[in-house]
Amino acid sequence: MKRLIYILWVAARYRLDTLIELDAMRSHRLLHWALRFFPHRLIRAGKLTKGERLKLALLELGPVFIKFGQMLSTRRDILPDELAHQLSDLQDNVPPFPNKIAIDLIETQLGGSVSNIFSNFENTPIASASIAQVYGATLNEKDQVIVKVVRPGIQETIKSDLNMLKLLAKKAEKYVPMAKQLRLKDVVLDYEATIYDELDMLSEARNTQKLRDNFPDSSLLYVPKVYWNLTSNQVITMERITGIPIGNITELHKKQVDMKVLAKKGVETFFTQVFVDNFFHADMHPGNIFVDATNPRDPSYIAVDCAIIGSLTEEDQNYVARNLLAFLNKDFQAIAELHIQSGWIPANTNIEEFTAVIRSVCEPIFAKPLAEIAFGPFLVNLFRTAQKFGMEVQPQLVLLQKTLLYIEGLGRQLYPQLDLWETAKPFMETWMSERVGPAATLKSFARYAPVLLKKLPEMPALLANAGQKLQDIEDRIVQQRIELDILKKEMVKEEKRSKRRRLIGTSLLMFSAVILWWTLTESFSSLGDTGLPTGLISAIVGMIVLSRA
């Protein structure tokens, strides 16, 4: 209760009630008037925008709410742009917890003292975030490593605040139309799964190792080595990398890094992860990306913090690829048809109407020069449009959208003249050609050839029995049709009987009503002696008949 009161106080102090449209609350009169006349309205909102006030409130509420705001900022398909922009600036740098607690936890998890495990262990943390704290160390007097340890007690804090967020989301969806549109309950549940994954260092280690294996000796991306013998569910030990933070544009220019090459490599790295490996780093914000500028003419990327990873099904890959190519070819009807074929839009959707809406979204984008067209915002607008036709946003596509927005924004920051399509279109056309047409057929045949060869000796017997099996299936279908016809006739008969019962029951009730009314008004006549029982019996029989109908 104390925590809830504090949350409500922070919300009042930053006037988060202004995020709610009061006119939309008229259906909930009590809440509408409470918001309109509650004393918190005496607090002036000031000159800060709604997004700025929401960001400051989340910062004050602490790590769990900060990370929730970060995740909410990726839902640009459902969040107003101003709010999404402000929330994307949230940083979860928090004061470090005591070194003794961290070292005790590391020693407990690794089964030995840090002085015996490491030849040198730095007592001052090099980074402190909401989930974990990072220390520098040396192995074997030569290998530079980092040791990342989960904050003690963070699980309890997260569980408590998540329960509070679920309660607030449930109440908000009940009373606030905008919250229902944002599907806050679903957002909180997605966040719950994500943040618990970030608590598991073994999961992060597996993700890091797989991403590293996908880019061996690559000129695009380097992923640090994991020291598995010094990793547990609460501690991970990895190679310490040296590089220039991707956000330090001044230093990159100072090192004379070829920014065009770097930007194009970023796009190529993204498409390789998504469409070749189907395993992409889904938290590629500037704090997790560094640049190896050893060779400024041919720079490469270094990725850290692989706690959040995305992947797509083959159907999702095809959906994104075909939408991308259809967009490039201005084939708006193909985009509409893809949504229906994927099952994300109801099959009875008016295809012409949906195509016209997509055209209205896309044509203003094509008014710009090709190099200025951004696919990330297009994807956001496409999702928003599709939702109006009943599309439910897929969590895996939200991760993809978030990553694409990061990559595209990063690329344009590094090299404003970046033409995303110059890199993307040839890549996507090659990818599609490998999955559709003769090459894809041969590849599929080669994949299943061992199974086919194994079954080849059985083919004559299978073919001989196929005719009989088909006849058996046909006989069963005929029998089912006969049974269905009998069932339909029985249903028709039962419906007729039910109609007769309803007619008789209704007639008896009407007759009883007349008799009873007559009995009450003519109680002293000779009919009154028999009218009452006659009316009651008619009413009872009528109700019985109706109930059976």
Which of these, 186, 130, 118, 185, lies nearest to 154 by C-alpha position? 130
Which of these, 460, 463, 266, lies nearest to 376 by C-alpha position? 266
Task: Look at residue 17 and tell me whether its pLDDT is greater than 70.
Answer: no
In terms of pLDDT, which residue wins out, 243 or 180? 243
Task: Look at residue 56 and tell me whether its pLDDT is greater than 70.
Answer: yes
What are the beta bridge partners of residue 236? 148
Supply the pLDDT for residue 530. Answer: 56
Dihedral, 209, 211, 214, 219 alpha carbons, nearest 10: -110
Question: How far apart, in whole angstroms, are the C-alpha atoms of residue 71 and residue 395?
Answer: 12
Segment 158-167 shows an average pLDDT of 85
Burial class (CB in 10 A: 0-12, 13-18, 19+), 94: middle
Length of the chain, please?
A: 549
Cβ-contact 64, 58 below 8 angstroms? no
Cβ-contact 197, 165 below 8 angstroms? no
Most confident by average pLDDT, 127-131, 150-154, 364-368, 433-437: 150-154
Task: Look at residue 184 and tell me whether its pLDDT is greater than 50.
Answer: yes
pLDDT tens column, 472-509: 777 788 788 888 888 888 888 888 887 777 777 667 66
Question: How far apart, in whole angstroms, are the C-alpha atoms of residue 91 and residue 70?
Answer: 8
Report the SS3 class of residue 295: coil
What are the beta bridge partners of residue 330? none
Task: Look at residue 548 and tell me whether its pLDDT is greater than 70.
Answer: no
pLDDT tens column, 251-300: 999 999 999 999 889 888 988 998 889 898 888 777 789 999 999 999 99
The 8-class DSSP code of residue 226 comes to B
Cα dihedral 507, 509, 510, 515 sign: positive
Question: How far apart, in whole angstroms, are the C-alpha atoms of residue 361 and residue 378?
Answer: 8
Segment 417-439 shows an average pLDDT of 72
Segment 55-77 shows an average pLDDT of 76
DSSP per-residue letters across 238-253: EEPP--EETT-HHHHH
Contacts of 194 (CB under 8 A, 6+ apart): 71, 308
Most confident by average pLDDT, 134-143, 182-191, 374-383: 134-143
Crossing angle for the helix pair 314-328 and 420-435, to the nearest 10 degrees: 130
Cα dihedral 239, 244, 246, 247 sign: positive
Task: Look at residue 52 and tell me whether its pLDDT is greater than 70.
Answer: yes
Cβ-contact 241, 304 below 8 angstroms? yes
Structure-token pair, residue 204: 């992060």
Whether residue 197 lies in the annotated active site: no
Cβ-contact 326, 335 below 8 angstroms? yes
Question: At residue 53, what is the residue type?
Answer: R
Burial class (CB in 10 A: 0-12, 13-18, 19+), 304: buried
The mean predicted confidence, pLDDT, of the chain is 78
Question: How far apart, in whole angstroms, are the C-alpha atoms of residue 67 and residue 73?
Answer: 10
Report the percentage of the chain scoring pLDDT > 70.
Answer: 71
Question: At residue 416, what is the residue type?
Answer: P
Segment 428-441 shows an average pLDDT of 68
Task: Look at residue 380 and tell me whether its pLDDT is greater than 80.
Answer: no
Instruction: Provide the CATH number for the domain formed by 99-151+200-309 in this structure.
Output: 1.10.510.10
Confidence grade of residue 447 (pLDDT, cut at 50, 70, 90): low
- Burial per residue of 463-476, b for 16 or more beta-carbon CB atoms within 10 angstroms, e otherwise: eeeeeeeeeeeeee
Cβ-contact 437, 430 below 8 angstroms? no
Crossing angle for the helix pair 50-61 and 63-72, to the nearest 10 degrees: 140
Question: How far apart, in whole angstroms, are the C-alpha atoms of residue 409 and residue 376?
Answer: 9
Each domain of the chain, given as residue ranges in start order, spans 2-94+155-196, 99-151+200-309, 312-436, 486-548
Supply the pLDDT for residue 505. Answer: 66
Which of these, 304, 279, 137, lies nearest to 204 by C-alpha position? 304
Query: From its phi and psi, is residue 399 left (phi > 0), alpha (psi between -120 and 50) or beta?
Result: alpha
Task: Look at residue 529 and tell me whether its pLDDT is greater than 60.
Answer: no
Confidence grade of residue 241 (pLDDT, cut at 50, 70, 90): very high
Instruction: Please identify which of the residues 77, 161, 258, 283 carries the catalytic annotation.
Output: 283
Report the SS3 class of residue 303: strand
Question: How far apart, in whole angstroms, are the C-alpha atoms of residue 317 and residue 478?
Answer: 41
Question: At residue 396, what is the residue type?
Answer: Q
Confidence grade of residue 301 (pLDDT, cut at 50, 70, 90): very high
Question: How far apart, in whole angstroms, are the C-alpha atoms of residue 320 and residue 309?
Answer: 18
Question: How far apart, in whole angstroms, are the C-alpha atoms of residue 97 and residue 149?
Answer: 11
Residue 107 φ/ψ, nearest 5 degrees: -65, -40
Question: How far apart, in whole angstroms, are the C-alpha atoms of residue 439 and residue 513?
Answer: 81
DSSP per-residue letters across 32-45: HHHHHHSGGGGS--
Task: Look at residue 434 and tell me whether its pLDDT is greater than 70.
Answer: yes
pLDDT tens column, 435-446: 765 655 565 556
Number of helices (H) and strands (E) in the chain: give both, helices first.
Answer: 22, 11
Confidence grade of residue 542 (pLDDT, cut at 50, 70, 90): low
User: What residue has token string 């036709």?
Assistant: 389
